[in-house]
Amino acid sequence: MASTEIMTVNMGPQHPSTHGVLRLVVELDGEVIQKITPHIGYLHRGVEKLSEHRTYHQALPLTDRLDYLAPMSNNLGYVLAVEKLLGIEVPERAQTIRVILAELTRLKSHLVWIACHALDIGAMTVFIYAFREREKVMALYEKISGARMTSNYFRVGGLSSEVYDGFEKDVQEIVDTFPGHFDTYEGLLTKNTIWVQRTVGNGVISAEDAIDYGITGPALRGSGVDWDLRRDNPYSGYEKYNFQVPVGKNCDTYDRYKVRLVEMREAVKIVKQALDSLKPGPILADAPQVCYPPKEDVYNTIEGLIHHFKIASEGFPVPEGEVYQSVEAPKGELGFYLVSDGGTKPYRMRIRPPSFVNLGAIEKMAKGAMIADLVAVIGTLDIVLGEIDR
Amino acid sequence: MTNMAETNRAVIRLKEKFASSLLEIKEFRGEVTVTVKKEDVIAVCTCLRDELGYNLLTDVTAIDYYGKTPRFMVVYNLYSIPAKDRLRVKTPVEESDASIASATCLWNSANFLEREVYDLFGITFTGHPDLRRILMTDDWVGHPLRKDYPLQGPDREPYKGRLS
């Protein structure tokens, strides 16, 4: 074999398949990848630093902008962490609505994943279909919170407002129609020869290596590790719902694809169960020192106005201590580590981003593969740069 | 999650094996935090990983207690996939000697996480294979998450609130 010269290629930061502003410096021997050096930070906004200068409620909108494909999952992780620090209990109705929205968010995020992943590998049709369905969830987001992406709908202690009239009907429509759409995607991909050839045996990482690299979420389950935070360390009432945790066997891109597809079907099942169990009741905890008063009181009574003003201007004190709360976000384990010094602002807020840690394994997964396969590996890791860079 | 600090399996084992290096054992909201001496942190983590099944290093981060000594606290969040429980290991780091042994010898996930701590706090990890800045640019001066680093960035007037 003739000796070849190692070539260094710069991929990104503006590359359609890097899903944002990821730059990979790839060293190639012909077409074979020898080394990958990720360069990140193009989207660094200093969320952790900023939140140290904001009250607990003011830090909440920052979390929308982490994984901007799944804002409500980020909101959920954050409010759960603050509630844990405060030691307050959230009413059942608020918990159930949170679960419905968190699972719809998972669908929304996975729909972008399947759309872009398929598009990267050359299956363009799926993109059009998946974005059509994503629009349904976006419309629901807009109706419920006023924003299509940066929802900022949850509050410490519950929800910002009661759901709109007809919410149940809209969710029911998603529950009824989405499984049929998933069949469409499977029909387009699962037995598609090109898809199978591009994904089977691609980006293989064993269960031991995946744990060693800290991979979490569907990417870890694709390697056969049966672990899901919703089932194993339940939060927000997840213990009440029946759902399967899919696991893969061959540790490759194809298995991760199948895991995520089953996860979408299971998410619909959880939404259905949660919707059936939804009962009227309060949506905010009985904790006036933390929760905003109802708007009628703010507009019509002086006590309500003072109460609102006090919480909005100086926030609420949080007991001294530290907690780590994580949720099973669509990308993996999203954790919030909050340290309080007893004041109204977090002393330190650490966000444990799943995409950031998952990206650390990219060289392990793509080394020795062809450069075209690197695109498939980026897609299967399902990274979001807003969360990696924070 | 009712395992109190005293009955926690990891705490019992660490008390047997590393009695002299344990600085504090604390339980808050059902979470157990063990503070150990800096010299022993790798030995403690090795024991936790190999003997007690804490196989997933979820997170490495730091806290800046500016104005106190020791100034920094490096925090390891560990998780045991078989036992489904968490343990937090903390270790104090002095400002005058802001370095600690790298956990990359135990977990590859520590690679990116320690680079971030180095970048944003200026704590060096000895034995790390590739200790470079990760979020900030290579020529950046200062470590943004330190408490004495201004929110507006260096050489800027501090934010005085909205003027209108």
Task: State pLDDT tens for residues A303-350.
Answer: 889 989 888 888 888 999 999 999 999 999 999 999 998 888 899 999
Under an 8 A CB cutoff, do B112 and A389 touch?
A: no
- pLDDT of A15 higher than 90: no
pLDDT classification of A192: cutoffs 50, 70, 90: confident
pLDDT at residue B1, as a whole number: 43
Q: Which of B107, B132, B134, B143 to mutate to test the interface with A (most CBs of A within 10 A)?
A: B134
* Predicted local confidence at residue A2, as pLDDT: 63
- pLDDT tier at B2, thresholds 50, 70, 90: very low
What is the tens place of the pLDDT at every residue in B90-118? 999 988 888 999 999 999 999 999 999 99
Closest-CA residue of chain B to A359: B112
Q: How far is B63 from chain A (nearest CA, A)?
A: 7
The amino acid at residue A318 is V
Nearest to B29 by CA among A86, A348, A338, A343: A86
Token pair 């109190």: residue:
B4
Measure CB to CB from residue A225 to each of B81, B113, B116 and give the nearest one.
B81
| Interface list for B 6-65 with A (CB within 8 A) | 28-29, 31, 33, 55-59, 61, 63-64
Chain A touched by B108 (CB under 8 Å): yes
Three-class secondary structure of residue A177 per DSSP: helix
Q: Is residue A45 predicted with pLDDT exceeding 50?
A: yes
Q: What is the full DSSP assignment across A336-390?
A: EEEEE-SSSS-SEEEEE-HHHHHHTTHHHHHTTSBHHHHHHHHHHHT--HHHHH-
Give A333's contacts in chain B (Cβ within 8 Å).
58
- The average confidence (pLDDT) of chain A is 89
Distance between CA atoms of A222 and A33, rounded to whole angstroms? 23
Distance from CA of B58 to the nearest CA of A (A): 6
Quote the pLDDT of residue A210. 92
Q: Do A85 and B136 touch (CB under 8 A)?
A: no
Q: Does B109 touch chain A (CB under 8 A)?
A: yes
At A98, which amino acid appears? R
Can you list the positions of beta strands (E) in B5-121?
Answer: 22-28, 31-36, 56-64, 72-80, 85-93, 99-101
CB–CB contact A324 B28 (8 Å):
no
pLDDT of residue A268: 93
> H or E stretch including A189?
helix A167-189
Using a CB–CB cutoff of 8 Å, tell me whether A40 touches chain B.
yes
* Chain A residue at shortest CA distance from B150: A49
How far is C-alpha B42 from the geometric centre of its chain's CA atoms? 12
Q: What is the pLDDT of residue A74?
A: 92
B151 chain-A contacts, CB cut-off 8 A:
49-50, 53
**Confidence at residue A179, expressed as pLDDT on a 0 to 100 scale:** 92
Report CB contact under 8 Å: B58, A53. Answer: no
How does DSSP classify residue A204? -
Q: Quick one: pLDDT band at residue B8, thresholds 50, 70, 90?
A: confident
B58, B135, B137 ranked by CB distance to A214: nearest? B58
Per-residue b or e along A286-299, where b marks 16 or more CB atoms closer than 10 Å to that residue's CB: ebeebbbbeeeebe
pLDDT at B11 over 90: no
Handedness of CA A8, A14, A16, A20 (dihedral sign): positive
Residues B26-39: tens digit of each pLDDT: 888 888 899 998 88
CA proximity to A332, closest of A45, A46, A74, A64: A74
Closest by Cα among A16, A13, A31, A26 to A119: A16
Alpha-carbon span A324 to A339, nearest angstrom:
9
pLDDT of B147:
86
Task: From B56, B57, B45, select the one nearest B14 (Cα to Cα).
Answer: B45
Residues of A in contact with B31 (CB under 8 A): 322-324
Compare CB distances from A41 to B77, B109, B136 and report the shortest one's residue.
B136
CB-count burial class (<10 Å; 0-12, 13-18, 19+) for A374 = buried
Closest-CA residue to A33 (of A382, A358, A377): A377
Question: What pLDDT shows up at residue B4?
Answer: 63
**H helices within A53-123, ranges in order?**
56-64, 71-86, 92-121
**Average pLDDT over every residue of B65-81:** 90
Beta-carbon contacts below 8 Å between A and B:
91
Asked if B157 contacts B141 with a C-beta cutoff of 8 angstroms, the reply is no
Cα end-to-end span (Å), chain A? 46
**Residues in chain B within 8 Å Cβ distance of A389:** 135
Taking all residues of chain B, what is their mean pLDDT, rounded to a whole number?
86
pLDDT for the residue A349: 92
CB-based contact A169:A224 (threshold 8 Å): no
CA dihedral B44, B46, B48, B49 (to 10 degrees): 160
Long-range contacts of range A240-243, CB-CB < 8 Å, 24 or more positions apart? A240/A273, A240/A277, A241/A99, A241/A269, A241/A270, A241/A273, A241/A274, A242/A269, A242/A273, A243/A269, A243/A270
